[in-house]
């Protein structure tokens, strides 16, 4: 066995295995960890990197689904608010409370439309007045009472609301304030779930950049990015491919029509005045066309989202000019005393929500709930296929628990452990109060400055301890070109310890250096040089990896790397995806 195979889990090639999970997004990774904890030998396999598809394109919110109250999805709201509260406890290194401000433009508008929607109308309310918002927030508090960790809502009148949000339009009559949460590094959390699963069960394995090449008599054959192949004979296959679910089922010989996704796009803008004025709050507001939008501070930038457009092509999706114009105009209407323009945008991203197929329903009214329909074994396919349809970032643990229990039942196994209060990755042993935090930072500060210790704890949670102690040939004081925030040693640790296959894994998923707008071409070369030594790349591979990242950022994220800061390519015609 190679050291790479050891790192990624046991060598199950050619052997029977309990479960193969196809797709390493948040739902697949959550299920992988849960099954591994129950002693189930499973493999998780993705054609790209862990958490690189839809799971890398959320609004970066961990929310209870306030708007789902309108469609009567009370069970989903109850589960979502519980899972939000649990994630605040289980992933404190990357999930934090987010006070949220709702501007209110009337007192009674929208009540009739909301009642019609609750009873099945296919058109969403165009406006929600104070009475409706007050009822909704009270219900939201009620559903979020289990494991509550945040304050209840309050409704404030115009004068106080303007003090809270000074740049909000004077057209408001009041404002609501309630609490949800945000996640700073969702892509890392997906990776951490995979890593937790590998650590929990040595009989499990994980493969990224690996494609299914054939299916024959119960055997699935896969090919890795490096050309090597392996095969497995699963007892059960879980299709967690998100918007690619129907494509995967077709390849498995079980055609389906389960997915009818919508496209969600976001932009990040460099606007210090806006970020300061938000004072740690998100504004959750109706755009002029009645669509719900949001803006909040994210890693020093302002994150704005999102669109909800029917789309069926997850491989060719980016934030297009009309969407950008829509966001900017919505912000201008909401915050008329601030300037918003294309030159402030530093990053864009887009993804397809893997929603259930739903003909004739407005995108905003398609259910965000989840299900796991099963295609039973048939003919030369001796394994059943369980497809993970729908779902949302916040509910991944609960969804995984439901599916894991179904898998355990099919395999005749019993649950060994609950994940309800189980910390994830760098959230394990995370300091719970100021005294514990000080002790942890003091320990890190033996090798680091206090400021650097704080930075690594905020970025990686308690994994910071392993990074600080890592015996790298690089000094932590040597920084990546173009940014004072990332060190050579930090990147070296990631490249050697975090299942990295490509350069894009480091800059787009294991770190937030690109989305923060801090990646330069010289910085990318520094990172590529470190990764090349750690992963054994020759000069040609290193240059190909650099070219690949430059192209990805141009096509899908509106960035053009230069020797200075990343220049936005916003407002120009987007290149088609590959």
pLDDT tens figures, 431-447: 999 999 999 999 998 88
Domains of the chain: 3-54+187-260+368-411 (3.50.50.60), 90-183 (no CATH), 262-353 (3.30.9.10), 470-568 (no CATH)
How would residue 2 be classed by pLDDT, with cut points 50, 70 and 90? very low
Cα–Cα distance between 337 and 90 in angstroms, integer?
40
Contact predicate 370/399, CB 8 Å: yes
Q: Which of 28-37, 303-312, 329-338 has the lowest mean pLDDT?
A: 303-312
Task: Give the model's pLDDT for residue 98.
Answer: 97
The pLDDT value given to residue 527: 98
The pLDDT tens digits of the residues spanning 251-302 come to 999 999 998 878 899 999 999 999 999 999 999 998 877 788 999 999 999 9
In 3D space, the residue among 376, 85, 390, 396 whose CA is nearest the CA of residue 260 turns out to be: 390
pLDDT mean over 343-358: 88
Dump pLDDT digits (tens) for 371-390: 899 999 998 899 999 999 98
What is the reported pLDDT for 13? 45
What three-state secondary structure class fits 292?
strand
pLDDT at res. 16? 79
The answer to whether the beta carbons of residues 537 and 233 sit under 8 Å apart is: no
Residue 68's pLDDT is what? 85
**Once rounded to an integer, what is the mean pLDDT over residues 41-69?**
93
By three-state DSSP, how is residue 282 classified? strand
DSSP characters over 231-261: EEEEEEEEE--GGGHHHHHHHTT-----B--
Contacts 24+ apart (CB under 8 A), 336-341: 336/167, 336/169, 337/167, 338/167, 338/271, 338/273, 338/274, 338/277, 340/269, 340/271
Is the pLDDT assigned to residue 223 strictly greater than 50? yes
Residue 81 and residue 146 in contact, taking contact as beta carbons nearer than 8 Å: yes
70-110 residue pLDDT tens: 778 899 999 999 999 999 999 999 999 999 999 999 988 86
- Cβ burial, residue 360 (10 Å; 0-12/13-18/19+): exposed
Q: At 126, is the pLDDT very low, low, confident or very high (cuts 50, 70, 90)?
A: low
Q: Is the peptide bond before 306 cis (omega within 30 degrees of 0)?
A: yes
Answer with the residue of higher pLDDT: 116 or 38: 38
Confidence of residue 403 (pLDDT cuts 50, 70, 90): very high
Q: How confident is the model at residue 359 (pLDDT cuts 50, 70, 90)?
A: low
pLDDT value of position 575: 28
Q: What's the pLDDT band for 118 if we cut at 50, 70, 90?
A: low
Handedness of CA 511, 207, 91, 388 (dihedral sign): positive
pLDDT over 90 (residue 250): yes
pTM over 0.75: yes
User: For residue 576, what pLDDT is reported?
Assistant: 27
- Quick check: 571 pLDDT over 80? no
pLDDT in tens, 451-509: 999 999 999 999 999 999 999 999 999 999 999 999 999 999 999 999 999 999 999 99
Q: Please tell me the distance from the alpha carbon of residue 426 to that of residue 403, in angstroms, as a whole number.
A: 25
Contacts 24+ apart (CB under 8 A), 65-68: 65/368, 65/392, 65/394, 66/136, 66/137, 66/140, 66/178, 66/180, 66/284, 67/292, 67/364, 68/368
Q: Could you tell me the CA-to-CA distances from 4 to 28, 425, 519 in Å, in that order?
A: 22, 20, 28
Q: Which tens digits make up the pLDDT trace of 506-541?
A: 999 999 999 999 999 999 999 999 999 999 999 999
Q: pLDDT of 129-176, one tens digit each?
A: 889 899 999 999 999 888 888 899 999 999 999 999 999 999 999 999
């Amino acid at each position: 066995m190679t050291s790479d195979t050891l790192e990624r889990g046991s060598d199950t090639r050619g052997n029977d295995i309990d479960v193969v999970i196809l797709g390493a997004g948040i739902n697949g990774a959550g299920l992988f960890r849960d099954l591994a904890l129950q002693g189930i030998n499973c493999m998780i396999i993705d054609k790209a990197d862990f958490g690189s598809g839809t799971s890398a394109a959320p609004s970066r919110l961990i929310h209870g689904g306030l708007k789902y109250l309108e469609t009567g999805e009370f069970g989903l709201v109850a589960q979502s608010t519980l899972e939000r509260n649990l994630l605040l406890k289980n992933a404190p290194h990357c999930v934090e409370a987010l006070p949220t401000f709702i501007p209110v433009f009337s007192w009674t508008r929208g009540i009739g439309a909301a009642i019609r929607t609750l009873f099945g109308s296919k058109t969403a309310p165009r406006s929600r007045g104070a009475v409706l918002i007050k009822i909704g927030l009270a219900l939201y508090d009620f559903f979020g009472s289990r494991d509550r960790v945040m304050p209840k809502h309050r409704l404030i009148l115009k004068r106080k609301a303007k003090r809270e949000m000074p740049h909000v339009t004077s057209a408001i009559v009041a404002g609501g304030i309630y609490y949800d949460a945000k996640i700073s590094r969702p892509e890392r959390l997906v990776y951490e779930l995979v890593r937790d699963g590998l650590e929990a069960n040595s009989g499990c394995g994980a493969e990224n950049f690996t494609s299914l090449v054939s299916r024959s008599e119960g055997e699935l054959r896969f090919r890795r990015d490096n050309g090597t192949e392996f095969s497995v004979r699963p007892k059960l296959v879980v299709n967690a491919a998100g918007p690619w679910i129907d494509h995967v089922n077709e390849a498995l010989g079980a055609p389906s029509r389960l997915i009818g996704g919508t496209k969600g796009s976001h932009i990040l803008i460099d606007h210090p005045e806006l970020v300061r004025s938000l004072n740690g709050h998100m504004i959750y507001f109706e755009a002029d066309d009645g669509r719900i939008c949001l803006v909040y501070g994210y890693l020093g930038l302002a994150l704005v989202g999102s669109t909800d457009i029917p789309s069926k092509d997850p491989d060719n999706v980016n934030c297009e000019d009309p969407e950008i114009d829509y966001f900017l105009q919505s912000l201008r209407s909401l915050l008329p005393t601030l300037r918003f323009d294309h030159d402030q945008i530093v990053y864009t991203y887009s993804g397809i929500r893997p929603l259930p197929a739903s003909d004739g329903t407005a995108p905003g009214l398609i259910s965000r709930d989840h299900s796991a329909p099963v295609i039973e074994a048939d003919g030369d396919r001796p394994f059943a296929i369980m497809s993970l349809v729908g779902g949302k970032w916040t509910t991944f643990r609960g969804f995984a628990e439901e599916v894991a229990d179904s898998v355990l039942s099919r395999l005749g196994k019993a649950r060994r452990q609950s994940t309800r209060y189980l910390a994830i990755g760098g959230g394990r042993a995370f300091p719970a109060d100021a005294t514990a935090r000080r002790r942890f930072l003091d320990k890190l500060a033996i090798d680091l400055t206090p400021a650097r210790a704080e930075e690594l704890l905020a970025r990686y949670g308690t994994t910071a301890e392993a990074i600080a102690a890592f015996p790298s040939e690089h000094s932590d004081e040597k920084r990546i070109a173009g940014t004072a925030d990332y060190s050579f040693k930090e990147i070296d640790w990631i490249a050697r310890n975090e299942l990295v296959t490509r350069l894009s894994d480091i800059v787009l998923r294991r770190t937030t250096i690109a989305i923060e707008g801090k990646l330069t071409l010289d910085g990318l070369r520094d990172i590529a040089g470190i990764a090349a030594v750690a992963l054994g790349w020759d000069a040609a591979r290193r240059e190909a990896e650099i070219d690949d990242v430059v192209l990805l950022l141009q096509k899908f994220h509106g960035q053009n790397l230069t020797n200075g800061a990343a220049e936005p390519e916003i407002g120009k015609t987007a290149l088609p995806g590959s």
